[in-house]
Amino acid sequence: MVPKGKLIIIGGHEDKGKAGESINVAKRKKASNHNHFEILSELISKIPRQHHVIEIIATASAIPLEMEDMYRKAYKNAGFTKVDFIRIENKKDAENPQFTKRIKFCHAVFFTGGDQTRLTTTLTGTSVLLEIKQKYIKDEHFIAAGTSAGAMAMPETIIEGGIIREALMKDDIKIGPGFNFMNNIMVDTHFIKRGRFTRLCHAVALNPDLLGIGLGEDTAVIISHGNEVHCMGSGMVVVVDGSQIAKTNAKELKEDQPIVIENLKVHIIAEGSHFLIKERKFIV
């Protein structure tokens, strides 16, 4: 079934340190700059409603209350007046009928950054996530958005973690189940700044039927109809295509043997570019 709603997958810019998580975006010169509030605002403003209701889920974060305060201020500055938080700490919370009802009447759900495994473990198989998925499939005006870990959690198959070093080794990456809003992509975020190119290549080599999407910070892709990718932001998106891999030892490695991959295709897209996922076709 072709989903009617849209996904916004954002590369993130959350620096974790003593001061907590920052949602400030670093700008570069001579480029249009869209933070995720502006991107969401641009889309949601087209929804024919008097008031647009956004529900934020900060389950991925280790400091959800601090995240709530930052996001509330940021959305208010972006002009949103109907913003609330669905506080889910465990699966029991995610079965709360009041939360499900709020999802029914909202126009967008936003997943914050943090730990994608915490997010998927807590929400997968619950009433709240089922309602979000149904809205995404059936409601042409609905938007499911996520940044950093919230973005990585959206596909059926996700990168739960990994080690980055000079060579790709057998146990350097951990793959797990995600939300399954889409079943033909994998997402990695903070892609350029944290040097995650080889990690995504490794993930695609193990799952060549999935298209890898690596997002730089301050960069997002909007996915319409479950297929059409539109890039926004001042950074880049790296698309890794394993459909034409000729040879790789990624699935039959011996201990201490490095991975080799032949004929892995890579595309780089930026603001204004488009990509068709099913056709694996790049459009400038």
| Domain residue spans of the chain | 6-14+29-283
Average pLDDT, integer, range 252-258: 83
**pLDDT band (50, 70, 90) for residue 121:** very high
- Could you please report the per-residue DSSP string of 158-183? EEEEE---SS--TTSEEEEE---SBS
**pLDDT band (50, 70, 90) for residue 39:** low
Average pLDDT, integer, range 179-188: 97
The phi and psi torsions of 92 (rounded to 5 degrees) equal: -60, -45
Rounded distance, CA 90 to CA 93, Å? 5
Contacts 24+ apart (CB under 8 A), 22-28: 22/70, 23/70, 23/71, 23/74, 25/217, 25/218, 26/217, 26/218, 27/218, 27/234, 28/234, 28/235
The HSE-up count of residue 270 (CA atoms within 13 Å, CB side) is 6
In 3D, which of 143, 155, 192, 107 has the Cα closest to residue 7? 143
What is the Rg, in whole angstroms, of the alpha carbon atoms belonging to the chain?
Answer: 18
Are 62 and 114 contacting, i.e. CB atoms less than 8 angstroms apart? yes
The pLDDT score that the predictor gives to residue 27 is: 37
The pLDDT score that the predictor gives to residue 164 is: 84
Place of tokens 């009041």: 98
Residue 141 has pLDDT above 60, yes or no: yes
Give bridge partners of residue 212 from the DSSP assignment: 186, 240
| Average pLDDT of the chain, as a whole number | 86
Secondary structure letter of residue 248 according to DSSP: B
Express as a percent the part of the chain with pLDDT over 90: 63
The pLDDT score that the predictor gives to residue 234 is: 84
Which tens digit of pLDDT belongs to each residue from 213-222?
A: 999 988 899 9
Rounded distance, CA 229 to CA 221, Å? 6
Rounded distance, CA 112 to CA 241, Å? 27
Residue 280 has pLDDT above 60, yes or no: yes
In 3D, which of 192, 183, 246 has the Cα closest to residue 217? 192
Q: Outline where the chain has alpha helix (H).
A: 36-44, 64-77, 97-104, 116-123, 127-138, 149-152, 197-206
Contacts 24+ apart (CB under 8 A), 35-38: 35/218, 36/8, 36/10, 36/145, 36/147, 36/220, 37/74, 37/75, 37/77, 37/78, 37/80, 38/78
In 3D, which of 57, 59, 62 has the Cα closest to residue 84? 57
The pLDDT score that the predictor gives to residue 47 is: 59
The pLDDT score that the predictor gives to residue 46 is: 59
Give bridge partners of residue 259 from the DSSP assignment: none
| Sign for the pseudo-dihedral over CA of 155, 161, 163, 168 | negative
Residue 26 has pLDDT above 50, yes or no: no
Average pLDDT, integer, range 91-104: 97
Give bridge partners of residue 281 from the DSSP assignment: 276
Average pLDDT, integer, range 221-231: 95
CATH architecture classification, 6-14+29-283: 3-Layer(aba) Sandwich (3.40)
Which tens digit of pLDDT belongs to each residue from 44-87?
A: 665 555 567 889 999 999 888 888 888 888 777 777 778 899 99
Average pLDDT, integer, range 154-180: 92
Rounded distance, CA 218 to CA 225, Å? 23
Average pLDDT, integer, range 95-101: 97
